[in-house]
Amino acid sequence: MRDQTLYCIQCDSPFTFTVAQQKRVKSQGFDAPKRCPECRKHKQKSGNSESRRKKRNRRDVEPWEIIEDDD
């Protein structure tokens, strides 16, 4: 195993995926990163509030009513 140069899917810049990072990611069962560290930071900052808002909205939805057949 050796360091890999990957290209960010967002900004297309190259970044290094080190052996230590590869081992950690593999042990946790994740795939290799698709975004560079800068784009990941930006995505976390902008995406967190939106995902929390979506979760909050899901709780506000009325649950399904279960109707049983009399057959």
Q: CB–CB of 37/16 below 8 Å? A: no
The per-residue pLDDT for 68 is: 81
Residue 6 burial by CB count (10 A; 0-12/13-18/19+): exposed, middle or buried? middle
Top-ranked range on mean pLDDT: pick from 38-42, 46-50, 56-60, 65-69: 38-42
Question: Which residue in 29, 28, 39 sits closest to 6, CA to CA?
Answer: 39
The per-residue pLDDT for 44 is: 87
Statement: the pTM of the whole predicted model exceeds 0.75: no
Residues 10 and 19: their CA atoms lie apart, in Å, by 23
